[in-house]
Amino acid sequence: MARTVRGARVLITGAASGMGLLYAERAVREGAKAVVLWDRDEAGLTRLTDRLRGEVLAGRTVTAWGAPAGSPSSATGSRNAGTSIHPYVVDLRELGGIAQAAQSVRKELDGVDVLVNNAGIVRGKFFWEHDNGDDTRATMQVNALAPMYTTREFLPGMISSPREARIVNIASAAGTLANPRMSVYAASKSAVINWSDSLRLELEQQGYGHVKVTTVAPSYIDTGMFEGARGPLLTPILTPEYVVDRVWRAMLAGKPVLLLPWSVGLAKTLKGVLPTRAWDALAGRLFGVYSSMDEFTGR
């Protein structure tokens, strides 16, 4: 799996829009054996499935990075197909729904080789404006618990298989820094970062090095999810295409951590070495981190 996912079984959560859609396209273009799409948006999932089976599979004219020219593909999902598409309507807030969908995937495909925990939601408001049920609980369920639940469903199969396997956990730069109007979101992404990298260490420590975990912490991405947010100094709003390309390459290479852009790593380092008030002044007045969500509207 050093260069492509050709022949692999790939599962993507939050696949119906944004970066999830781009990950799905990438997997198909590289000739994955199966692409499993999880999303709660049934209409969006149907549109993506139809397009992948039709335009991308049957009418592909562009060979993606690393993909062998003319790699097999099919729009039908028939016995001779190079890639089959498997959509599932899944509400990631529900543990039972995750378990049921995972059981169906295992029955149909006997597991997955690549898991991209991409789905996420954000509530851009002060903590005291969050509703405990609709906001706080939902954010923690989708952003923090769902990746853990989903990974737990497929990890035993990855461990027992001799095949190379990859787990990608999409966190956020917000998980490395405190930020006004992002308290619960930041908490959920901080949880993902520490769980994900701990999982990586556990797998390495126990001799399961063929299962590699990549933790991704990007700053704001232009998907509509953070509409109205402003990029801090030295931290431009990232394009989804750029992020997906970098994540994909990091995943294939088994890179442990990916921070995007480079200034995220700088901010993390400065926060770690400076006194709290000094960092607050730097982040608030110079970099503009603490005001970056002032005009947030979201989708």
**In the chain, where the domains are located:** 9-58+82-287
Residue showing tokens 């378990």: 99
Question: For residue range 237-257, what is the model confidence (pLDDT) as tens digits?
Answer: 999 999 999 999 999 999 999
Q: What's the N-to-C CA distance of the chain in angstroms?
A: 35
Smallest CA-to-CA distance from 69 within 77, 61, 80, 79 is with 61
> Phi/psi of residue 266, each to 5°?
-65, -45
Sheet containing strand 257-260, strands side by side: 84-89, 34-39, 9-13, 114-117, 165-170, 211-218, 257-260
- Residue 59 above 70 pLDDT? no
- Active-site amino acid positions: 185
- Residue 81 above 60 pLDDT? no
- Residue 57 above 80 pLDDT? no
Q: What number is the average pLDDT over the span 60-66?
A: 44
Query: pLDDT value at position 1?
Result: 65
Q: CB-side exposure of 113: number of CA atoms within 13 Å? A: 19
Query: pLDDT value at position 2?
Result: 65
Q: Cis link prior to 256 (omega < 30° from 0)?
A: no
Of the chain, the percentage scoring pLDDT greater than 90 comes to: 87
CA 71 from centre of chain: 25
Q: What number is the average pLDDT over the span 48-77?
A: 55
Query: pLDDT value at position 76?
Result: 37
9-58+82-287, which class in CATH?
A: alpha beta
Work out the pLDDT band at 3, boundaries 50, 70, 90.
confident
- Cα–Cα dist 61/192, whole Å: 37
- Cα–Cα dist 226/221, whole Å: 7
Work out the pLDDT band at 65, boundaries 50, 70, 90.
very low
Question: For residue range 129-150, what is the model confidence (pLDDT) as tens digits?
Answer: 999 999 999 999 999 999 999 9
Q: What number is the average pLDDT over the span 91-104?
A: 98
Q: What number is the average pLDDT over the span 115-128?
A: 97
- Rounded to the nearest integer, the mean pLDDT of the chain is 91
Q: What number is the average pLDDT over the span 181-204?
A: 98
- Residue 21 above 90 pLDDT? yes
Other C-beta atoms within 10 Å of 282: how many? 16
